[in-house]
């Protein structure tokens, strides 16, 4: 049986799209929290917001990668 070969360009684009999704999602969550002065810019809570959204994005990307044919 032959192993499945991934196209490196498609994989690179897939990862790039997920980085954009992560940044956009993180910013959408961060903006109202920052504007309502729930936390300050550069605080640990802002970092945690982006870390948590990165983890969620990574899990979703890994799950969807198994489902699609790259």
Structure tokens given for 21: 């999704």
* R_g of the chain, CA atoms, integer Å: 16
Identify the band that residue 66 occupies on the pLDDT scale cut at 50, 70 and 90. Answer: confident
pLDDT value for 70: 74
Distance of alpha carbon 31 from alpha carbon 16, whole angstroms: 22
Tell me if the pTM is above 0.95: no
Structure tokens given for 15: 């990862």
* Residue 11, Ramachandran bin (φ over 0: left; ψ between -120 and 50: alpha; else beta): alpha
Tens digit of each residue's pLDDT (9 = 90 or more) over 11-54: 999 999 999 999 999 999 999 999 999 999 899 999 999 999 99
């Amino acid at each position: 049986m032959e192993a499945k070969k991934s196209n490196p360009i498609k994989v690179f684009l897939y990862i790039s799209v997920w980085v954009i999704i992560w940044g956009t999602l993180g910013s959408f969550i961060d903006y109202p929290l920052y504007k309502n002065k729930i936390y300050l810019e550069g605080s640990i809570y802002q970092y945690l917001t982006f870390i948590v959204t990165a983890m969620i994005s990574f899990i979703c990307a890994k799950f969807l990668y198994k489902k699609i044919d790259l």
